[in-house]
Structure 1
């Protein structure tokens, strides 16, 4: 189900924060450094990306002289996505497939524009696009006072297909792009403390809001880096970061988990589980903990205190070379 690759390159197209000033390990290039390498002559705002609430990563796996690229989520807004792609100098014609991690607007809203840009650059070839059937129903958050705050719907199957998606809609795990990428099936919920997204509901066929806190449509991506181990991409961790890593370790028991990148969703209503998460995270002995998006500053601080330089925060425009 998964073939080892020689190296992995991750470009953060969209994230909640921008940070080119903090020190980074040698395998991380900041947005400023990347712009300078690409020919920036002076530092100014017209060459920089825009941070936004959401996440999108371009993941490229290389083996020998060949490479395979997966676009993992697209972020919340087509303008932000297009601006950042252009300013990062990314060639979307090399994107071989796209995957949506779960059915939330801040990861999905730019999908139609992303497909337009990919197909425009690749000569009109359809883009394999991996999705879960439970993503498409309308969602809302129920506030403590009983009101519902509807979320923006993600793009429909017909809209995506009309913009060039070759849809693969399934609950089952998938091996993608010659086995370089593993796309999980539904994530097993085994921890006692990770309980999903408090207050989330989904509209059923009768037009009723029903509790949907577990978000069973959320899935992760994994790549096996030779001589290092498994690298896991978890966009929001509504399933729980520990559930995600446990699922990955059980699925590939002979491959150690080298690192993880994504939103760990330990902000707001889930801040209470930070201590349990940090304690449980230790058993995986990760080399890279790239906290992103919805992790939250309290969780980032707790993880840094516990794991030190193994915590490498994500930011828009960063490139990880692993």
Structure 2
């Protein structure tokens, strides 16, 4: 894959849903949603739990009629349950996701299984676009497809389960995907929850783009419960990428954030609902 530098235009990424907020009339929740504005098109990447998305869009001046499509990263409630509210306002929107996002998902609390999957059913989506491999959703805007697992250190916690044909099994998040955008400064990578692992995800993206630079990494990195060894190895890996911006959000965790701040200093930006990045 080669970047078409002569064709690239400004990319804007706005945080619509996140765990933190400090702006008037905007709300926070445990979840994540981005608005990607690029080449005169607008895409939602994830939709949060659905408790605050419509409020935040309204108060940020974003209409559902302005949205060209919705990309879902994986089938967890805090990333996809806002889809129902969006489709209620525009049922014809295209929805891009792995076909297994609809499989019931749970967290194993030892005493019981707590549902963590999506409320929306595949049959309720008029224009569902199943994505299993790296796909250009719109010119210059990519979904990674399924992410190969190469690093044992990034094994998924056994607390995550899914239900297939009535059987509860380990959830290895084969449905999880990231997004990357081509810009003149390099790639802008958007991570949703990164259950597949930061290293696995970025290595997969590198395998798709060859020698092209990763300029920015924004999103949830699911290091909130990671041990220090994994955090240290993740930070060491990131240091080799020579990126210019990293924005840890959502499920990254305080310990990982501190390690990134110590290593990358002012390349780390702390952001919240309503803030945007222009590339």
**Would the TM-score normalized by the shorter structure come out above 0.5?**
yes
- Structure 1 moving runs of 4+ over 3 Å: 1-4, 269-272
C-alpha contact (below 8 Å) 2:103/2:117 kept by paired residues: no
Give, in angstroms, the shift of residue 152 of structure 1.
Answer: 4.3
Give, in angstroms, the shift of residue 202 of structure 1.
Answer: 0.8
Return the alpha-carbon distance in structure 2 between the equivalents of residues 176 and 225 of structure 1: 15
Residues 188-246 of structure 1, C-alpha deviation per residue, up to 9 Å, x if partnerless? 111231112431111120x121111x2110011111101x1011111001111111111
Return the alpha-carbon distance in structure 1 between the equivalents of residues 65 and 155 of structure 2: 39
C-alpha contact (below 8 Å) 2:32/2:47 kept by paired residues: yes
RMSD: 1.8
1:175 is aligned to 2:136: yes
Instruction: Indicate the residue corresponding to 1:96 in structure 2.
Output: 68
Give, in angstroms, the shift of residue 272 of structure 1.
Answer: 5.3
Instruction: Indicate the residue corresponding to 1:72 in structure 2.
Output: 45
C-alpha contact (below 8 Å) 2:158/2:170 kept by paired residues: no
Instruction: Indicate the residue corresponding to 1:34 in structure 2.
Output: none
Return the alpha-carbon distance in structure 1 between the equivalents of residues 119 and 104 of structure 2: 8
Give, in angstroms, the shift of residue 146 of structure 1.
Answer: 5.6
Return the alpha-carbon distance in structure 2 between the equivalents of residues 83 and 270 of structure 1: 36
> Which gives a bigger RCO, structure 1 or 2 (Cα 8 Å, sep 6+)?
1
Give, in angstroms, the shift of residue 313 of structure 1.
Answer: 2.1
Seen in structure 2, the aligned counterparts of structure 1 residues 298 and 248 have a Cα distance that, compared at 3 Å, is same
**Where in structure 2 are the equivalents of 1:248-263 lying within 5 Å?**
248-263=205-220
2:147 counterpart SS class: coil
Instruction: Indicate the residue corresponding to 1:53 in structure 2.
Output: 30
Return the alpha-carbon distance in structure 1 between the equivalents of residues 38 and 117 of structure 2: 32
**Where in structure 2 are the equivalents of 1:223-302 lying within 5 Å?**
223-226=181-184, 228-268=185-225, 273-302=230-259
Return the alpha-carbon distance in structure 1 between the equivalents of residues 20 and 183 of structure 2: 27
C-alpha contact (below 8 Å) 2:35/2:45 kept by paired residues: yes
TM-score relative to the length of structure 2 = 0.93
1:101 counterpart SS class: coil
Seen in structure 2, the aligned counterparts of structure 1 residues 239 and 152 have a Cα distance that, compared at 3 Å, is closer
Structure 1 or 2, whichever has the larger Rg, is 1
C-alpha contact (below 8 Å) 1:104/1:154 kept by paired residues: no
Instruction: Indicate the residue corresponding to 1:306 in structure 2.
Output: 263
Residues 24-69 of structure 1, C-alpha deviation per residue, up to 9 Å, x if partnerless? xxxxxxx5xxxxxxxxxxxxxxx4210100000000113xxxx121
Residues 294-317 of structure 1, C-alpha deviation per residue, up to 9 Å, x if partnerless? 111111111011000111123111
Instruction: Indicate the residue corresponding to 1:209 in structure 2.
Output: 168
Aligned equivalent of 1:140, options 93, 99, 106: 106
1:15 is aligned to 2:32: no
C-alpha contact (below 8 Å) 1:197/1:215 kept by paired residues: no
